[in-house]
Amino acid sequence: MTQSSRPQYHVIVEKDIPSPTRDGLNLMADVYRPDADGRFPVLLSRLPYDKNNRQRPGDIDYFVERGYVVVFQDTRGRFASEGEEYYPPFWEIQDGYDAVEWAAAQPWSNGQVGTMGQSYLGATQYLLAPTRPPHLKTAFPVSASADFHQSWVYHTGGAFEMGWQIPYAILMARDSIARQGLTETLLPTLERALAPPHIAFAPPLTDEAYRQLPLMAWGDVLKPVARYFTDYLTHPEDGPYWWSINLERQYANIDIPMYHVTSWYDIFLRGGLANFCGLRQHAMTETARAQQKLLVGPWAHRFPYTSPSSTDTGDIDFGDNARIELHETQLRWFDYWLKGIDTGIAHDAPVKLFVMGENVWRDEAEWPLARTRYTPYYLHSQGRANSLHGDGQLSAVVPAEEPPDRYVYDPNDPVPSGGGNTLIIPMGVQDQRPIEARQDVLVYTSETLTELVEVTGPITVELYAASSAPDTDFTAKLVDVRPDGYAQNLADGIIRARYRLSRSIAAMLTPGEVTRFTIDLWATSHVFFAGHRIRVEIASSNFPRFDRNLNTGADQATSTHMQTAEQTVFHDARYPSHILLPVIPR
């Protein structure tokens, strides 16, 4: 093993260099390269957020000083690049291929191209990978989706990710509005919906704007500059519209090593985990399968990801260990795959996890962990689990005969979002007690723990419930209750009843019939200490993160009529509702 590249160059900047696409457009790139003759490996990032806003040194100087050319390219229809329409993220497939091959052919390039970047800049990497550009050697995607239907526009359980999709569409429309000369007419209409201050990357909407019905009204307003938003709403089911941007359907077409980075409170957590696991099993070549790496930190979705703070995840400080310099890992990775330097990273453990609670990093051989003991914790009550003041209990004891719990879900008075894996609206850790004080939230809490319990891995809730409505939602949340009562959210999920059997075909409920719902809470890694309690919340809304189920069975995008739903949650010998926790033995 040898040391990674050392800084030895100054930075030369070339602005707005045209990169042609196969259909004749020019996408403009800013090129940052070493002040020396010769050819260097290239690190490509493609973004819709204006390459002129890339801060230095940031993701630029660090690599250029060490012998890389860094290229930032405005995507199609954005800022300096040509293209009449921004339609995310479908064009990134072929445009990404063309950009890689263009970069490889430039006089400052040695033909070895890697990709890097976070969020949408990670999505562009995932989308181009199955096209296999001949000169693409590796990728380092951070915080990006795998299935853009189930973890970008909609959620795994079928609800619309409204909390960030609408304000994000408004943000992205600003440049398109300027291109089309609609600044004085359309822009004020959209920005009136944003909550102040407007200086944020993408401020959330006002409460009135989030409550606007039908949802398609947003599609109508945005249509002149964001036709894609209407198309998103008219395709709530999985199907051919989404398949070309679903990496999970294309793992066998990918032949490069990737280093995946995500985090426990990131809105795209599922993407990093799914892509790591899928490529480890199904990538095209043995090298690609063997050389997938995964790093999962304790953060929320934030910028820049290159040096995450220990205090950027809501209420909590995960300590100094949470601070990492991701550039160092990236350099070791790129030096190995693009320069042939044995930095030792190929022999690092495949998985590096941050275990919250203990706040330590730990190397693992796989994900999920092979030593996991999947342990059910059952819901119990005497029929009065409503709110944290009710009689709901959680334990490993299998229920016998117990009365069910009941609550009324009113779409006009939804349960508010409280942190979690969100974007734009408040992210990360928040005290859940104000939410748990509501009568339409069922709360099940364990006895005080006498020894620590580590939970690391995927989490699901198996819920037996009935509704008076033909369609409704059920939500679940895993919470750590500290000795002082603070209720820390760890993971949550939602299931839209019509998609309980299939994300492709809707199936309405028979009102009053007991039905089994599987709620995917994605994953976490957390230690519950002695003196703490484990808690599970069950409700029917998480607003405004997700759109409200109107309980009618009508089309969610075009309907305005809503009705209340009487919800019944069962937990007895026949219907043993429970959360399945991935317990790691100590």
Q: Which two tokens mark 185? A: 């007419």
Enumerate domains of the chain plus CATH numbers. Answer: 11-150+242-364 (3.40.50.1820), 162-234 (no CATH), 373-583 (2.60.120.260)
Which residues share a beta bridge with 34?
11
Q: Report d(CA 203, CA 424) in Å as an integer.
A: 6
* Stretch 520-537: mean pLDDT: 98
* Stretch 355-374: mean pLDDT: 98
Q: Report d(CA 428, CA 422) in Å as an integer.
A: 7
Predicted confidence band of residue 26 (pLDDT cuts 50, 70, 90): very high
For the ranges 63-77, 163-177, 481-495, the lowest mean pLDDT is seen at 163-177
Paired sense of beta strands 40-47 and 69-74, if any: parallel
* Stretch 132-138: mean pLDDT: 98
Predicted confidence band of residue 185 (pLDDT cuts 50, 70, 90): confident
Q: What pLDDT sits at residue 309?
A: 43
For the ranges 84-93, 273-282, 371-380, the lowest mean pLDDT is seen at 84-93
Q: What pLDDT sits at residue 325?
A: 87
Q: What pLDDT sits at residue 190?
A: 83
Query: Is residue 311 pLDDT above 70, yes or no?
Result: no
* Stretch 363-369: mean pLDDT: 98
Query: Is residue 527 pLDDT above 50, yes or no?
Result: yes
- Sequence-ordered alpha helix ranges (H) in 195-291: 207-210, 216-222, 227-233, 240-243, 269-282, 286-290
Q: What pLDDT sits at residue 357?
A: 97
Q: Report d(CA 80, CA 57) in Å as an integer.
A: 22
Predicted confidence band of residue 503 (pLDDT cuts 50, 70, 90): very high
Q: What pLDDT sits at residue 195?
A: 82
Q: What pLDDT sits at residue 144?
A: 95
Smallest CA-to-CA distance from 236 within 410, 471, 496 is with 496
Write out the catalytic residue numbers.
119, 266, 301
Q: What pLDDT sits at residue 199?
A: 55
Q: What pLDDT sits at residue 2?
A: 81
Please give the share of the chain, as a percent, with pLDDT higher than 90: 87
Q: What pLDDT sits at residue 200?
A: 58
Global confidence as pTM: 0.96
Query: Is residue 1 pLDDT above 80, yes or no?
Result: no
The C-alpha R_g of the chain, in whole angstroms, comes to 24
Q: What pLDDT sits at residue 303?
A: 52
DSSP letter string, 498-535:
GGSS-SSS-----TT--EEEEEEEEEEEEEEPTT-EEE
Query: Is residue 448 pLDDT above 70, yes or no?
Result: yes
Query: Is residue 310 pLDDT above 50, yes or no?
Result: no
Smallest CA-to-CA distance from 419 within 300, 258, 283, 521 is with 300
Query: Is residue 517 pLDDT above 70, yes or no?
Result: yes
Query: Is residue 168 pLDDT above 80, yes or no?
Result: yes
Predicted confidence band of residue 302 (pLDDT cuts 50, 70, 90): confident
Q: Report d(CA 33, CA 70) in Å as an integer.
A: 6
Output the average pLDDT for the chain.
94
Q: What pLDDT sits at residue 308?
A: 42
Q: What pLDDT sits at residue 307?
A: 46
End-to-end CA distance of the chain: 33
Predicted confidence band of residue 187 (pLDDT cuts 50, 70, 90): confident
Query: Is residue 312 pLDDT above 80, yes or no?
Result: no
* C-beta separation of 512 from 468 below 8 A: yes
Please give the share of the chain, as a percent, with pLDDT higher than 70: 97
Q: What pLDDT sits at residue 436?
A: 98
Task: Kindly report, residue by residue over 202-232, the tens digit of the pLDDT.
Answer: 788 999 999 999 999 999 999 888 999 999 9
* Stretch 189-198: mean pLDDT: 78
Task: Kindly report, residue by residue over 379-424, the tens digit of the pLDDT.
Answer: 999 999 999 999 999 999 999 999 999 999 999 999 999 999 999 9
Q: What pLDDT sits at residue 58?
A: 87
Q: Report d(CA 517, CA 464) in Å as an integer.
A: 6
Q: How far is CA 396 from CA 300, 374, 444, 488, 583, in A?
A: 31, 12, 12, 21, 12
